[in-house]
């Protein structure tokens, strides 16, 4: 056995093949030291690490060890650390803590993460926790927790920095200084009137640049972009990306400021949306938890619906084959080319659909571009089909003679052309019908291309071979 590496030598190494430290290995070492009673070494090590990394170590430990390790950090770091843990791990830790310790931790947490954790607690735990919090915290919690899962309200946070329009730049800087410990960000500040109506937004950079006596009302942006608390959270993520914002202000129906969505929370929302699009693209339905944590039942339910639906869709392909049974019986060698031809239509179609789904999602193309994109796709598909026809023609001659080769090559061109056009059109049709273009999935395109492929292949065969 090799001597274990001392903790102090674990260090971020940007030149390593895999630049992240193996969390499980570090976790083992931490637990060993904790059980030996060497808490000083562990405390020193953890305090020098990035909190995202500490969270990764804790994920690998048993709950009692994780709690012991966590308690070696100062409270405000614990409060930040818990936000880096998986929701399920947060819940386990919260459940194991005493009521008083949990209340202290939650008071120090950022308001949005606190509300997310609170929502996870069962009713008894919620009831037990509330009296240990301040009145303002209780109200904040209840308010943030009330928003529905998919809304901007459910990802916003209420610990933003505010300024008054009458302040000078110098006063504003002092005001931000006073809010710097509590606020989620002080790099963008929100100017509100006495009724909390949002009347302007100002970046800290502009305060620094301004002359110290200049009034905030003179330099603030009086027509800031904002979003409603009831809007979809994906919309907030899109706006933050589009306008390169640090944070996006959230207003209620009365134009009162109720929260902000920060850029890093928006990145998480955007990543979740991408995951959803990926899943949709292979007919997997929405999954609330992470894939790693999902139960068998959750995954079964997310997958069975489309699988069964597509089974019935494929009956049409079967019926197509049954319709041409006589042609097939007379030329059994045609069957050799069946998988190859129908798969090619599906593959070309899947490519087109994916290109369009992603281009629509990133605003690279718009629904109104459909016309010229279809023309371009027809030319590309024709080129692809002709190339593939050449590739199969040789095999056709070898397996069934020149006549079969002619049938197969002709069918290939048409199948690839129409497969590609179906795949390219479907996302636009879905968008037009007000549905998510991402639902134009590979399997759906493949099923449609299959039916068309069977009909075209055997249709051409019976026309060319039976006469």
Q: Is 370 in the site for a copy of itself (CB under 8 A)?
A: no
Among the listed residues 2, 148, 288, 296, the single contact to a copy of itself using CB under 8 A: 296
- Alpha helix stretches (DSSP H) within 14-122: 23-35, 39-48, 51-59, 63-70, 75-84, 87-96, 99-108, 111-120
Contact 453, 461 (CB under 8 A): no
118 or 458: CB nearest a copy of itself? 458
Least separation in angstroms between residue 339's CB and a copy of itself is: 3
Contact string (CB under 8 A) for a copy of itself, positions 398-427, x = contact:
------------------x-----------
Between 173 and 439, name the residue whose CB sits nearer to a copy of itself: 173
- Nearer to a copy of itself by Cβ, of 150 and 278: the residue is 278
430 Cβ neighbours under 8 A, 6+ residues apart:
436, 437, 439, 440
> Between residue 200 and residue 259, which ones bind a copy of itself under the rule CB under 8 A?
204-205, 208-209, 223, 225-228, 231, 235, 241-244, 246, 251
Percentage helix, strand, coil for the chain under 3-state DSSP, each rounded to 5? 65, 5, 25
Residue 41, both tokens: 């070494």
Structure tokens at 108: 């120090």
Cβ neighbours for 168, distance < 8 A, ≥ 6 positions apart: 212, 213, 214, 215, 216
Query: Does 146 interact with a copy of itself (rule: CB under 8 A)?
Result: no
Q: Is 401 left (phi over 0), alpha (psi -120 to 50) or beta?
A: left
**Within its chain, how far is the Cα of 390 from the centroid?**
41
Please write down the long-range contacts of 225-230, taking CB distance under 8 Å and 24 or more positions apart.
226/198, 226/250, 226/251, 227/152, 227/251, 227/261, 228/152, 228/252, 228/253, 229/147, 229/151, 229/152, 229/153, 229/156, 229/258, 229/259, 230/147, 230/151, 230/152, 230/153
List binders of a copy of itself among 13-52 (CB under 8 A): 14-15, 19, 48, 50, 52
Find the shortest distance in angstroms from Cβ 325 to a copy of itself: 5
Options 66, 133, 355, 440; binder of a copy of itself; rule CB under 8 A: 355
By beta-carbon proximity to a copy of itself, the closer residue of 135 and 211 is 211
Closest listed residue to residue 116, CA positions, set 93, 92, 147, 139: 147
C-beta of 451: minimal distance to a copy of itself in Å? 8
For residue 409, the minimal CB distance to a copy of itself (Å) is 12
Among 76, 96, 177, 432, binds a copy of itself (CB under 8 A): 177
CA distance linking residue 257 with residue 416, whole number of Å: 54
The CA distance from 423 to 455, in Å, is: 18
Q: In the set 234, 369, 403, 436, which binds a copy of itself (CB under 8 A)?
A: 369
Give the footprint of a copy of itself on residues 124-143 (CB under 8 A).
none
Q: Which is nearer to a copy of itself, 78 or 354 (CB)?
A: 354
Q: Which two tokens stand for residue 381?
A: 């598909």
Q: Of residues 281, 413, 457, 461, which one binds a copy of itself by CB under 8 A?
A: 281
> Residue 135 CB, nearest distance to a copy of itself (Å)?
27
Angle between helices 111-120 and 87-96 (to 10 degrees): 80
Virtual torsion, Cα 361, 366, 369, 371, nearest 10 deg: 60
Q: Residue 274, interface with a copy of itself (CB under 8 A)?
A: yes
Shortest CB 122 distance to a copy of itself, Å:
25
Q: Which is nearer to a copy of itself, 80 or 102 (CB)?
A: 80
Stretch near a copy of itself under the rule CB under 8 A, chosen from 60-68, 115-123, 128-136, 282-290: 282-290
Q: Please report whether residue 364 would count as binding a copy of itself according to CB under 8 A.
A: yes
Which of the residues 311 through 350 are near a copy of itself (CB under 8 A)? 311-312, 314-315, 317-319, 321-322, 325, 328-329, 332-333, 335-340, 342-344, 346-348, 350
């Amino acid at each position: 056995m090799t001597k274990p590496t001392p903790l102090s030598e674990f260090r971020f190494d940007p030149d390593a093949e895999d630049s992240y430290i193996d969390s499980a290995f570090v976790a083992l070492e931490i637990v060993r030291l904790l059980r030996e009673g060497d808490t000083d070494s562990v405390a020193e090590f953890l305090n020098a690490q990035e909190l995202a990394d500490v969270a990764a170590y804790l994920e690998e430990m048993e709950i009692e060890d994780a709690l012991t390790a966590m308690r070696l950090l100062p409270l405000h770091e614990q409060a930040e650390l818990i936000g880096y843990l998986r929701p399920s791990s947060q819940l386990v830790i919260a459940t194991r803590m005493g009521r008083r310790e949990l209340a202290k931790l939650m008071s120090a947490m950022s308001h949005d993460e606190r509300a997310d954790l609170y929502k996870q607690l069962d009713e008894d735990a919620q009831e037990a926790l509330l009296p240990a919090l301040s009145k303002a915290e209780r109200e904040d919690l209840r308010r943030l927790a009330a928003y529905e899962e998919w809304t901007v309200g459910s990802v916003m946070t209420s610990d933003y920095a505010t300024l008054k329009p009458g302040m000078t730049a110098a006063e504003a800087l002092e005001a931000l200084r006073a809010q710097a410990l509590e606020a989620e960000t002080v790099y963008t500040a929100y100017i509100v009137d006495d009724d909390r109506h949002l009347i302007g937004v100002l970046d800290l950079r502009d305060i620094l640049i301004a002359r110290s006596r200049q009034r905030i009302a003179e330099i603030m942006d009086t027509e800031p972009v904002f979003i409603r608390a009831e809007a979809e959270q994906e919309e907030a993520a899109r706006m933050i990306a589009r306008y390169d914002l640090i944070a996006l202000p959230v207003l209620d129906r009365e134009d009162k400021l109720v929260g902000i969505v920060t850029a890093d929370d928006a990145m998480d929302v955007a990543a979740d949306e991408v995951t959803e699009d990926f899943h949709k693209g292979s007919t997997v339905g929405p999954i609330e938890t992470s894939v790693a944590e999902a139960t068998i039942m959750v995954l079964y339910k997310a997958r069975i619906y489309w699988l069964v639906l597509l089974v019935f869709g494929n009956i049409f392909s079967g019926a197509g084959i049954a319709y041409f049974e006589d042609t097939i019986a007379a030329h059994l060698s045609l069957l050799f080319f069946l998988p190859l031809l129908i798969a090619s239509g599906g593959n070309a179609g899947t490519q087109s659909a994916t290109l369009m789904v992603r281009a629509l999602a990133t605003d690279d193309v718009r629904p109104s571009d459909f016309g010229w994109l279809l023309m371009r796709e027809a030319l590309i598909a024709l080129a692809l089909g002709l190339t593939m026809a050449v590739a199969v023609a040789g095999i056709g001659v070898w397996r069934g003679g020149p006549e079969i080769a002619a049938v197969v090559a002709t069918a290939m061109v048409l199948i690839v052309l129409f497969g590609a056009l179906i795949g390219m059109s479907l996302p636009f049709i879905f968008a037009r019908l007000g549905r998510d273009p991402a639902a134009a999935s590979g399997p759906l395109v493949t099923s449609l291309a299959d039916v068309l492929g069977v009909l075209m292949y055997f249709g051409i065969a019976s026309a060319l071979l039976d006469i």
